[in-house]
Structure 1
Amino acid sequence: MTSLLRQVRTAVASVAVAASFAFAAPAMAQEVDFSGKNIEWTIPFSEGGGSDVWARFLAPYLSRHLPGNPSVIIRNVPGGGSITGTNEFAARARPNGLQLVGTSGSTQFPYLLGDPRVRYDYEVFEPVLVSPTGGVVYIPASFGVENASELGQLADRELVYASQGATSLDLVPMLAFEVMGLNVRHVFGMTGRGDGRLAFERGEATIDYQTSSAYLTNVQPLVDNGTVVPLFSWGVLDAQGNVQRDPSFPDIPHFVEAYEMMHGDAPSGLAFDAYMAFFGSGFAAQKPAMLPAGTPPEIVQAYREAFAAAVADPELVASAGEILGDYEQAVGDDVAGLYRVATTIDPEAREWVQNYLRENHNVTLN
């Protein structure tokens, strides 16, 4: 069992213990009233990006289900790859229930890597929602590899991946390819995964991944016409920390399955622990919403109940497809385990990643 899975299962066990005291929580939540108030939801990214769209989609439903139906206003504070706005929130937000923050994998990664610019601490935030996402890795059909069971045919071939940077969300495929044993040359400088896909389509890159929505929109047609072959998805995590198939791609094996197809055994070791930490943070638990440190438990409970009601709201369910996909949102008692996945890394795995980035990509973080 990897250290990350042990951490997830420990977190789940802790939640179960806490649940024994939960009989008082609904009563506490009923004491909270935000009537006539404005809730400020900090998003440390520019308007129009994925996290901004996510928050603006959820905001009216959060307003509808919080006690007193307060207005929920999105406040964008971009800069520093999302570090600036999150640092500001950690320093200034008051624990009165009128401020929350929503981050993403690109905010969690610097924290996990020990970036000295980080002044926020996920251990003291109070999570109230975690949203997962997914993605699929694919190659040209011209390679003659039909599916993940034939991954061994790629072992001696140099592949090219068009990357946004070694510490960006593209760290997940970088670590995945390293663990898998694929020989991949990472070419940096892409401004987004869309650029990476275009490089792939021009033949400049020979392996790529796209997030679920982009894959379904832009890559599935290439699969359908026979020019692209999907290898594996990243998968999702269940409440016990086990990797499961992505519900958007139930016929595509997840990374762990693909590894087993190629090597005959399950992956293990520090490199895999590092991959699991960043996969969890970048995909399986990518977007957490949090209240500041010290928020009273009755306010935390009110938010958790509100988000649980929001994601079950028939109107949200009917319109969630393009924003939330087919992924189950972690709310209520499910929040703690997945939040820990997004914000925790074993110190030895962190050191391994720091050494790997320094030795292979000349990246120094401290």
Structure 2
Amino acid sequence: MLVRPVGWLGSLIVLALLAVSGDGWAQTHAEDVASFAGKTIRIVVGMPPGGGVDAYARLVQRHLDRHLPGSPLVIVQNMPGAGSMRSVMSLAAAPEDSTAIVTFSSSLLTESVLFPERVKIDFRAYGFLGNLGEDGRICFVRPALGVRDLAGLKARGRLVFGATAAGTSGNIDAAMLRNLFGLDVHIVNGYAGSAAKRLAFERGEIDGDCGGVTSLPSDWLPSGKIAVFMRLSPEPAPGLDPAVPFGGALLTSDTDRRAYDFLVTPQRLGRLFVTSGKTSPARLAALREAFGRMMADPKFLADAGKLNLSVVPTNGEQVERDIAALYATPREILARARSAAGE
């Protein structure tokens, strides 16, 4: 015979049982949504192998799996093209289960604000997992030129710098040298990435370049293979002569300094990892939590140290606030930055 609870006490018992079972279902469902068991996570790299963007991606690939629920397989796929824009655009067609993560040339951030007709991406619409560190960049020339400072390079005349494509960090850096600092820089586009530019530098095809310290061969600084005449970041990179001047300190106009600060913002956000804006809140939270644990993992940090890769972590929420601030830059500063980054 079926026995039904009766009266107010019976009703309370039924409601309590339903609440407990409902809470348990909700917790299990949330865990299922956030789990990556049986999945393959693709880290899509917007630049070719051999550069700093690729090195950080492969560092993450070796450590992220053990911090994600379900311990999925993590692989790296290089997808260069259009200054790494191709990799970001690929997220539009990516699965909505957040199994695609992209890392790209962070100069696209400022390019999207300055030249929206060319970089048709609004980075405020994406889900950022975090930033691994700054891209401490320097500008250098071949020692054979016989000059090691800005004044000497101005007096020397025409300098050939290599670049990948419009909108990449090296291209913007070279444009700043010409339009903010008065150097006669001729920019040669078409190099596949930083590794290709290094070869061109060693062969004497180009006179100089600007690049991240961590992407340079380890012997270039200590052996004097490059003559560094400017650092683009306020803080000197490890191994760099502290006497090398900071570019921002060489500018006398307040507008120029603010335009410079805007243009070098991608250096602070130099190692970004992002997923689709269609990612569910539960999935994005799981990815961000895993990314945060990974960035503090002693094994991860030890691996980064062996590779001479600096890690200065920023969480995804702070990255999104920093990007929102970029989009709020005053018009007059954007106008000067646009002319400074112009080719």
Q: Same fold (TM over 0.5)?
A: yes
Partner of 2:35: 34
**Compared CA separation, residues 67 and 110, structure 1 to 2 (3 A):** same
Does residue 1:111 correspond to 2:112, yes or no?
yes
Deviations 1:70-100 (A, max 9, x none): 3334454444443333223135542x44443
Match of 2:230 among 218, 229, 232: 232
SS in structure 1 opposite 2:84? Answer: helix
- Give 1:110 deviation, angstroms: 4.5
Looking at structure 1, the residues matched to 50 and 239 of structure 2 have their Cα atoms a distance apart, in angstroms, of 22
**Compared CA separation, residues 104 and 187, structure 1 to 2 (3 A):** closer
Given that 1:102 and 1:290 are in contact with CA atoms closer than 8 Å, whether structure 2 keeps it comes out as: yes
- Give 1:127 deviation, angstroms: 1.1
Counterpart AA for 2:235:
Q
Partner of 1:279: 264
Indicate the percent of aligned positions where both proteins have the same amino acid: 23
Partner of 2:254: 268
SS in structure 1 opposite 2:240? Answer: coil
Looking at structure 2, the residues matched to 81 and 141 of structure 1 have their Cα atoms a distance apart, in angstroms, of 29
- Give 1:130 deviation, angstroms: 1.2
Does residue 1:246 correspond to 2:242, yes or no?
no
- Give 1:122 deviation, angstroms: 0.6
SS in structure 2 opposite 1:231? Answer: strand
Structure with higher Rg: it is: 2
Given that 2:126 and 2:274 are in contact with CA atoms closer than 8 Å, whether structure 1 keeps it comes out as: yes
Looking at structure 1, the residues matched to 284 and 325 of structure 2 have their Cα atoms a distance apart, in angstroms, of 20
SS in structure 2 opposite 1:302? Answer: helix
The alignment's C-alpha RMSD in Å is 3.9
Looking at structure 1, the residues matched to 205 and 35 of structure 2 have their Cα atoms a distance apart, in angstroms, of 54
Deviations 1:185-224 (A, max 9, x none): 214145144555565556665543342134452522442x
Partner of 1:304: 288
Match of 2:246 among 246, 255, 265: 255
Looking at structure 1, the residues matched to 61 and 158 of structure 2 have their Cα atoms a distance apart, in angstroms, of 42
- Give 1:64 deviation, angstroms: 0.8
Given that 1:44 and 1:84 are in contact with CA atoms closer than 8 Å, whether structure 2 keeps it comes out as: no
Looking at structure 2, the residues matched to 351 and 98 of structure 1 have their Cα atoms a distance apart, in angstroms, of 38
Partner of 1:133: 135
Looking at structure 1, the residues matched to 139 and 301 of structure 2 have their Cα atoms a distance apart, in angstroms, of 28
**Compared CA separation, residues 353 and 35, structure 1 to 2 (3 A):** closer
1:152-171, aligned counterparts within 5 Å?
A: 152-164=151-163, 165-171=165-171
Looking at structure 2, the residues matched to 40 and 160 of structure 1 have their Cα atoms a distance apart, in angstroms, of 43
**Compared CA separation, residues 344 and 103, structure 1 to 2 (3 A):** farther
SS in structure 2 opposite 1:217? Answer: coil
Higher relative contact order (CA closer than 8 Å, sequence separation 6+) = 1
SS in structure 2 opposite 1:309? Answer: helix
Given that 1:103 and 1:288 are in contact with CA atoms closer than 8 Å, whether structure 2 keeps it comes out as: yes
Is there any run of 5+ residues in structure 2 with no aligned partner, and where? 1-26
Counterpart AA for 1:167:
G
Given that 1:130 and 1:286 are in contact with CA atoms closer than 8 Å, whether structure 2 keeps it comes out as: yes
The count of corresponding residues between Structure 1 and Structure 2 is 311
Partner of 2:90: 88
SS in structure 2 opposite 1:328? Answer: coil
Given that 2:67 and 2:291 are in contact with CA atoms closer than 8 Å, whether structure 1 keeps it comes out as: yes
**Compared CA separation, residues 342 and 315, structure 1 to 2 (3 A):** farther
Given that 1:232 and 1:252 are in contact with CA atoms closer than 8 Å, whether structure 2 keeps it comes out as: no
